């Protein structure tokens, strides 16, 4: 089969080389973007009189036919034609004859592929933002139902202070909110048009890049043709943002795994999100959050992979850059899959409020509140901390929790103690007392929920 670039060659390409250099088995995902870019390019060529209007029209009709066939799954891509760009150009030849050869006027595959990737990532970024929002909605829904659910808050995975479960969940809402913001911000840079840069240096034809940018809805053109064809930082940025997003997903998944263990029993995942064991019939395994946690590895890998591919490359295009695609597709697909599962998994989980409450009632997570109590009675915090340390030790030795220590016992540690200490030590009081902005007190959590609604309704 003759290559589109075969003129200078006297021998057929080695079969192994065809297979090794070809990208069609993965870049066929760019088929529709490739056609979209070509349609704009050829329309511009026609309008500028660079090719005759009839030729431009014939190419447009041909490309639209191919587009339809691709959508209907009626095309076969060939390894011999290396990549998506040449496969489609070959199809166009088959469709309309030699006039197809005019499509590539004033263009190179280098600015073409960069344009396809910008178009693809713009579409996917917008879709992923919507998926993140679905997870946020599920979080808000569970938070609403759990504004009175107390649970232990942890540091070092040791019980630290009681908090509201809604507060814990909403922490993830804000992480995802920033992920969304990062994705939205990256669109500014994705919205630069490379097309018109040619192979590396621009073109001798009087093209109108503004027009192509307008047709493809780009905000601006790359002002430097070398940068336009060499840069992949818009992909690096996506992979970085995706990595941060996966970190958040992974941490939440880890908590869901812990919380659903027999040791915690704070939540139960819906049966439809769990799997069984082939040998131990009693088991209900949290495979989905485990895989979400596990898939974080490949998303980080894709970022490191592309950083490494690019780091030593001289300007402008190098074939190494074809390695930018699989990692990007993989991260897109991993994020889409992960976010699509996470939302219904959060939404359908059962919260075991009694277990959580039992946990906060049987620990020393109200200890800080005795210290704060003594501070309000005039003792400096450092001294109060010392006194409470001794009380905690005393309670442990006598197998009591702080609510079981008698008033006489308290008074033996400090004369400042009064009967009002018991109200202060109730877990609900402990939580509500944390009424500083952003704290876990119910009043603050309700304010936070309102902020979350406003974000979701784009009121703010």
Q: Give me the phi and psi of 323, to 5 degrees please.
A: -75, 0
113 near ligand ARG (CB under 6 A): yes
Min separation Cβ 319 and ligand ARG, Å: 6
Rounded CA separation 337/19 (Å): 29
Q: Between 9 and 453, name the residue whose CB sits nearer to ligand ARG.
A: 9
108 belongs to the catalytic site = no
Min separation Cβ 191 and ligand ARG, Å: 21
Q: Between 55 and 83, name the residue whose CB sits nearer to ligand ARG.
A: 83
Where do the DSSP E strands lie in 246-340? 267-268
Q: Tokens at residue 82, please? A: 């290396």
Rounded CA separation 353/445 (Å): 17
Q: Which of the residues 25, 217, 277, 340 is marked catalytic?
A: 277
Q: Give the bridge partners for 154, in sequence order.
A: 159
Stretch touching ligand ARG by CB under 6 A, among 99-107, 289-297, 317-325, 373-381? 317-325
321 near ligand ARG (CB under 6 A): yes
CA distances from 207 to 32, 39, 65, 105, 114 (A): 23, 14, 26, 10, 18
Which residues in the 369-428 window bind ligand ARG by CB under 6 A?
none
Q: Between 120 and 373, name the residue whose CB sits nearer to ligand ARG.
A: 120
161 near ligand ARG (CB under 6 A): no
Rounded CA separation 285/113 (Å): 43
110 near ligand ARG (CB under 6 A): yes
109 near ligand ARG (CB under 6 A): yes
Which residues in the 5-44 window bind ligand ARG by CB under 6 A?
23, 27
> In terms of DSSP bridges, do strands 158-164 and 192-193 run parallel, antiparallel, or are they unpaired?
unpaired
Q: Can you give the length of the chain in residues?
A: 460
Q: Which of the residues 156, 272, 278, 458 is marked catalytic?
A: 156
Q: Give me the phi and psi of 278, to 5 degrees please.
A: -75, -15
Site string for ligand ARG, 187-226 (x = CB under 6 A): ----------------------------------------
Nearest alpha-carbon partner for 359 in 264, 258, 433: 264
Which of left, alpha, beta for 414 (phi over 0: left; psi -120 to 50: alpha)?
Answer: beta
Dihedral sign from CA coordinates of 338, 343, 344, 348? positive
In the set 33, 83, 179, 330, which binds ligand ARG (CB under 6 A)? Answer: 83
317 near ligand ARG (CB under 6 A): yes
In the set 149, 322, 414, 444, which binds ligand ARG (CB under 6 A)? Answer: 322
> Does an H or E element contain 270, and which?
none
Nearest alpha-carbon partner for 153 in 369, 358, 353, 360: 360
Min separation Cβ 178 and ligand ARG, Å: 32
Q: Which residues bind ligand ARG (CB under 6 A)?
A: 23, 27, 83, 109-110, 113, 317, 319, 321-322
- Active site positions, annotated: 156, 277
């Amino acid at each position: 089969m003759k290559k589109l670039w075969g003129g200078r060659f006297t021998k057929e390409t080695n079969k192994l080389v065809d297979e090794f250099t070809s990208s069609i088995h993965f870049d066929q995902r760019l088929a529709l973007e490739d056609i979209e870019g070509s349609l704009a390019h050829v329309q511009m060529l026609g309008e500028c009189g660079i090719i005759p209007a009839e030729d431009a029209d014939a190419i447009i009709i041909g490309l639209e036919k191919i587009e339809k066939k691709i959508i209907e799954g009626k095309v076969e891509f060939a390894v011999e034609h290396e990549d998506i760009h040449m496969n489609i150009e070959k199809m166009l030849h088959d469709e309309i004859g030699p006039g197809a050869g005019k499509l590539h006027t004033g263009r190179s595959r280098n600015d073409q592929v960069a344009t396809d990737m910008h178009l693809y990532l713009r579409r996917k970024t917008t879709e992923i933002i919507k998926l993140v929002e679905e997870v946020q909605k599920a979080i808000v829904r569970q938070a609403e139902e759990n504004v009175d659910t107390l649970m232990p808050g942890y540091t070092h995975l040791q019980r630290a202070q009681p908090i509201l479960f809604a507060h814990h969940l909403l922490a993830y809402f804000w992480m995802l909110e920033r992920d969304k913001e990062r994705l939205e911000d990256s669109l500014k840079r994705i919205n630069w048009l490379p097309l018109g840069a040619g192979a590396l240096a621009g073109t001798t034809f009087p093209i109108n890049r503004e027009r192509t940018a307008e047709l493809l809805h780009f905000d601006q053109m790359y002002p430097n043709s070398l940068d336009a064809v060499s840069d992949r930082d818009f992909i690096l940025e996506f992979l970085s943002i995706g990595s941060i997003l996966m970190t958040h997903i992974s941490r939440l998944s880890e908590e869901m795994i812990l919380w659903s263990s027999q040791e915690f029993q704070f939540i139960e995942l819906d049966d439809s999100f769990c799997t069984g064991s082939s040998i131990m019939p009693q088991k209900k395994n949290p495979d989905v959050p485990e895989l979400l946690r596990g898939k974080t590895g490949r998303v980080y890998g894709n970022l490191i992979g592309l950083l490494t591919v690019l780091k030593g490359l001289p300007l402008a295009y190098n074939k190494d850059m074809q390695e930018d695609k699989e990692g990007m597709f993989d991260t897109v697909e991993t994020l889409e899959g992960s976010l699509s599962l996470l939302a219904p998994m959060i939404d359908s989980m059962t919260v075991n409020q009694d277990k959580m409450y039992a946990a906060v009632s049987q620990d020393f997570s109200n200890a800080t509140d005795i210290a704060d109590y003594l501070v309000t009675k005039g003792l400096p915090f450092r001294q109060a901390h010392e006194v409470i340390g001794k009380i905690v030790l005393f309670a442990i030795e006598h197998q009591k929790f702080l609510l079981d220590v008698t008033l006489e016992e308290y008074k033996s540690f400090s004369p400042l103690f009064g009967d009002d200490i018991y109200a202060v030590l109730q877990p609900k009081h402990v939580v509500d007392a944390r009424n500083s902005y952003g704290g876990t007190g119910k009043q603050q959590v309700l304010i936070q929920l309102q902020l979350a609604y406003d974000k979701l309704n784009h009121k703010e």
